[in-house]
């Protein structure tokens, strides 16, 4: 009996991959439409002409959003980092974020996803 419980506990520590199929338009709208740029470290967010938080390019690799954020290495908060974002970036960052409820994004969870795109990790809390 002890041996079986030990195996079950050890097996629970392994990682599994879970694939979700979700409506793409709703997925992107839930991230970009939740005011992720309302935090003071975001200094700009500008959509290319013809796009907005609810209108996207059909080519998911096409950058359509320019975001600017304060450089965390600049103590004077004068320097900013600027990145062009495409839909593939949002999908990849979502998969590495801690947030798993794609239907219920708020400004905080979407902010973390966009920080992952810029920095590769969450820098600002």
pLDDT digits 0-9 by tens, 22-32? 889 999 999 99
31: exposed, middle or buried (Cβ count in 10 Å: 0-12, 13-18, 19+): buried
Average pLDDT over residues 85-91: 95
- Please count the structural domains in the chain: 1
Q: Maximum CA pair distance of the chain? A: 65
Question: Looking at the domain assignment, is residue 15 inside a domain?
Answer: no
Q: What is the pTM of this model?
A: 0.81
Question: Looking at the domain assignment, is residue 8 inside a domain?
Answer: no
Strand order in the sheet with 80-85: 42-47, 65-70, 80-85
80: β partners: 70
pLDDT, tens digit, 9 for 90 and up, residues 34-65: 899 999 999 999 999 999 999 999 999 999 99
Question: Looking at the domain assignment, is residue 100 inside a domain?
Answer: yes
Question: Looking at the domain assignment, is residue 9 inside a domain?
Answer: no
Question: Looking at the domain assignment, is residue 10 inside a domain?
Answer: no
User: Residue 88 half-sphere exposure, CB side, CA atoms within 13 Å?
Assistant: 7
């Amino acid at each position: 009996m002890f041996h079986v419980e030990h195996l079950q506990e050890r097996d629970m520590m392994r990682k599994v991959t879970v694939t979700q199929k979700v409506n793409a338009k709703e997925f992107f709208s839930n991230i970009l439409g939740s005011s992720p740029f309302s935090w003071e470290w975001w200094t700009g967010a500008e959509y290319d002409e013809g796009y907005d938080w609810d209108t996207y390019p059909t080519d998911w690799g096409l950058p359509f959003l320019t975001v600017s954020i304060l450089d965390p290495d600049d103590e004077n908060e004068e320097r900013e980092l600027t990145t062009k974002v495409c839909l593939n970036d949002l999908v990849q960052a979502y998969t590495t974020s801690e947030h798993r409820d794609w239907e219920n994004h708020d400004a905080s969870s979407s902010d973390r996803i966009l920080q992952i795109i810029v920095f590769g990790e969450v820098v600002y809390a």
